[in-house]
Structure 1
């Protein structure tokens, strides 16, 4: 298999452009002629000015175009452009660098923008969410500077919320350095807002960054602390308080399960179920969704991580299709991935691939940034060859066939 550096610069430009952008569209984005784009992809007329224009339009560093480093996997051109814009917004606003023409916004408008960002995020539209976060960060920063002292706390709180969603987008698509920076700025803003709930939300967000960075011990300690700090009295707690606590304690159970700590995972999972039962329905608040259905679907993945395949399958059978409709699109898709993994663990090869195939076809944008599809494809050792080939094509894997049985070897993790 060729390495990124094995290709010519023109070939790399062509691959970075991808199928979603035509040469004519790239010419429009760069301000270059179509002829220049064609020549660049043929390794001709590659001036520094041309490379700079292509770098900006493709959202890729010149070092990537020249083959000195590989591009981030699973990203298309629009993803890369979004990341560059979001990165600039996060770092510039934190440094107090604001565009001169930026205008302040009302608190209500900023809250509405943040809610829209979260809605896109939970629909699996991560690039759209990130694209909306960047201008929201600038507006929130300008608004903070425009506030009187007695409104500072609310302005800092809104800025913290905006940095937090920026961190979530960056973490999900694998830009870990940006995720760390954004969640750090969110923490500073939450402290200045003097808001314990926001502080816990940021703490849980940082724990998720730790988890994706394989810092499991740090992730568990912080996830447990974030949940404990906001644990409510069930008899008087509001639905909002219960939803935030439930999502936090559930996440602590997820981290414990990834560490193989069955006792702590079970303890946290018990609290999660109790919180969901107390709520009686799903509640969306502060960029999260939690309730009894969430508690049960999340328990599937937790039991899969612990190797309790039987429990996972029993939980799957207990969940009705109409219950899943109360979840966000991303949560429903994650449940399908966990279901497919449980079926694979139970050697239900065809059932696993059928579940996985439906999820990939139904949510291709969401699936591009997930690692589990590739893991499931590798795990399935005996299945319908035709279905395995279809699934493998959807997630970008090579499928060798040996003695009539098909196995998948991951070519790239999504």
Structure 2
């Protein structure tokens, strides 16, 4: 945590008339954690939310603007090299006239849209390297088509380009390349609006709100999602599944931002709205880019359980993790979560097991996720937090699985 954040915690604690012991008790944290926060040490977002709740302020109020810390290690340089081709296709240098970019071969809009569907299937299958290789020709081909065509054909090419940009933004957000992802999503929203595709633009907004959440921009994510949900609210008796899905996804973003920002009443209302949208669907629906991801009654419940995880209610997470809409019987009838949402849900379960001291159960969850989504798992800070917690608190000798998982996640034993 930065010194600015530490100063804010200290300032709000004194304003509330609390000493460090009182803040620790009110937040349900140890005294050493509060001291660490006020000394500028790194604390998790969960801890920040707990401190904000005890102080009666939003989590965002504790943040401060400071110079970033130095990047340690080679990962930033490796990512820069690995994404060089995609960066050239997405963000070519701009001069006084035309962009300085490689001329792409114009593709028919139908070919671009099919390429996006194929790329999204690879994304869902956790094949991120294959997605990264497919995106540059999709972007260049769609840009060339927009430049070459006119009239209604140009409009269809612009829509296809928006599809390609949405997939690019989705992939880049997942691998935490946020500035590039923002550019892709903003361009996709712009193209969708220019071509009159409100539903497509709303899909882009769902993705942008996810990116803002990833950047801890909770106020902006909540406000953008709520405003867009109001603008696209469907007539329930006439709404198509994709309309219900994107509206429900927007309410999920409102809830996620509000919960993280210590606004529980807003989060509760948003979860009810998302549940309404999920309940109006007969099953889980996945139709990118008509909406962002899989959505339905199972997704709405999984995200409600995520709120319990964010507030530290480990037993609540474990109680609801495999019941109701999340039970195996229900998912057989109405469909499963998307692979990414399922993974995030099981990481919440793993963390809950860790909090109640069930190390082997936490490991079982991590091992299953590595078996089914090994690349995805390496991009999840929560997976590293769980593994670090096991390493820190386990008193017996580590098992072979534990040593292997620590290596897989890049954690020193």
Unpaired segments ≥5 residues, structure 2: 1-70
Q: TM-score w.r.t. structure 2 length?
A: 0.73
Any gaps of 5 or more consecutive residues in structure 1? 1-67, 400-414
C-alpha change, 1:92 and 1:131, in structure 2 (3 Å) is same
Contact 2:251 2:273 in 1 (8 A): yes
Alignment of 1:150-299 (within 5 A): 150-285=152-287, 286=289, 287-299=292-304
* Aligned counterpart, 1:25: none
1:396 alignment partner, SS class: coil
Alpha-carbon contact 2:206-2:246 (below 8 Å) kept = no
In structure 2, the residue matched to 1:397 is 411
CA contact (8 A) 2:110 2:160 kept: no
In the TM superposition, what is the alpha-carbon distance from 1:99 to its structure 2 partner? 3.2
1:386 aligns with 2:408: no
Structure 2 CA distance for partners of 1:384 and 1:235, relative to 1, 3 Å: farther
**Aligned mate of 1:118, from 117, 120, 141:** 120
1:320 corresponds to which residue? Answer: 327
State the shift of 1:162 in Å: 1.4
Structure 2 counterpart SS, 1:255:
helix
SS at match of 2:91: helix
**Within 2, Cα distance between the matches of 1:321 and 1:214?**
33
Q: What secondary structure sits across from 2:286 in the alignment?
A: strand
Cα displacement string for residues 331-359 of structure 1 (whole angstroms, at most 9, x for unaligned residues): 22222212112222333332112212221
Q: Given that residues 123 and 330 in structure 1 are in contact (C-alpha distance below 8 angstroms), is that contact kept between their aligned partners in structure 2?
A: no
Alignment partner for residue 361 of structure 1, among 371, 382, 400?
Answer: 371
Cα distance in 1 for partners of 2:117, 2:244 equals: 19
Could you tell me which residue of structure 2 aligns to residue 408 of structure 1?
none
CA contact (8 A) 2:112 2:161 kept: no
Match of 1:142 among 141, 144, 151: 144
Deviations 1:34-67 (A, max 9, x none): xxxxxxxxxxxxxxxxxxxxxxxxxxxxxxxxxx
Q: What is the CA-CA distance between 1:161 and the residue it aligns to?
A: 2.1
8 Å contact kept, 1:284–1:290: yes
Looking at structure 1, the residues matched to 377 and 179 of structure 2 have their Cα atoms a distance apart, in angstroms, of 22
Match of 1:87 in 2: 87
Residue 237 of structure 1, CA deviation: 0.5
Query: Which of 102, 105, 108 is the matching residue for 1:106?
Result: 108
Partner-residue secondary structure (3-state), 1:360: helix
Partners in 2 of 1:378 and 1:251 — Cα distance?
28
The alignment of Structure 1 onto Structure 2 pairs a total of residues equal to 329
Q: CA 1:344–1:86 in 2, change beyond 3 Å: closer, same or farther?
A: same
2:345 aligned residue: 335
Q: Is the 8 A contact 1:337 1:373 kept in 2?
A: yes
Q: What CA deviation, in whole Å up to 9, does each residue of 1:197-245 have, x standing for no partner?
A: 2222222222222222222221221222232222212111111111221
The answer to whether the 8 Å contact 1:89/1:138 transfers is: yes
Q: In the alignment, does 2:134 pair up with 1:132? A: yes
| 290, 299, 307: which one aligns with 1:302 | 307
CA distances 1:389-413 after superposition (whole Å, capped 9, x unpaired): 34323312233xxxxxxxxxxxxxx
In structure 2, distance between residues paired with 1:154 and 1:93: 26
Decide whether the 8 Å contact of 2:190 with 2:201 is kept in 1: no
Separation in structure 1 between the aligned mates of residue 223 and residue 177 of structure 2, nearest angstrom: 23
> What is the DSSP-based 3-state SS (H/G/I as helix, E as strand, rest coil) of the residue aligned with 1:202?
helix
Query: Does 2:82 align with 1:72?
Result: no
Change (3 A) 1:192 1:326: same
User: Does the CA contact (< 8 Å) of 1:124 and 1:365 recur in 2?
Assistant: yes
CA distance in 1, matches of 2:372, 2:398: 19
1:138 CA drift (Å): 0.9
